[in-house]
Amino acid sequence: MPIKICDNHFENCGTGISAPADADVDIGANCFVACGKAIDLRAPESLLGALGLNADTPLDVLREVLTFVGSAPRTEPEIAAKATSAGLFNWLSAGADTATLVSGLASLYQHVPQILAALPG
């Protein structure tokens, strides 16, 4: 059963609606005025959780690092440097560490095009 979000007025907010990209959401007619972002469809929480990232990790940061990882075979130090420069480590969840994230990203090399295609936005 979808979550229905219809006929709302969002004004002067950072984000009007935020949900995981794989959520069953029916977003109807709404009004967004002076919002930082009207609708934020985030990466699936299962991907973020597997990498040790918080559910609110910005997709543009994740996409930047994934694009780097998928562009050529990368070493873990190269991936760590890119994750640092992009600010991805700032989104690590409690109990996760940089080694977990870097090794997880490295393991995705062959799947990056499919992952990027599945990410919203």
DSSP 92: B
Give the integer Cα–Cα distance in Å for 75 and 85: 16
Give the integer Cα–Cα distance in Å for 79 and 102: 6
Give the integer Cα–Cα distance in Å for 107 and 119: 18
What is the pLDDT, as a whole number, of residue 14? 86
Token code pair at residue 109:
């090399």
What is the pLDDT, as a whole number, of residue 99? 93
**Strand partners of residue 40:** 18
Per-residue pLDDT of the chain (121 residues; tens, 9 = 90+): 778 888 989 999 888 887 776 677 788 888 889 988 888 776 666 788 889 999 889 989 999 999 999 999 999 999 999 999 999 999 999 888 999 999 999 999 988 998 888 777 6
pTM, to two decimals: 0.66
Task: Give 87's Cβ-side CA count (13 Å radius).
Answer: 5
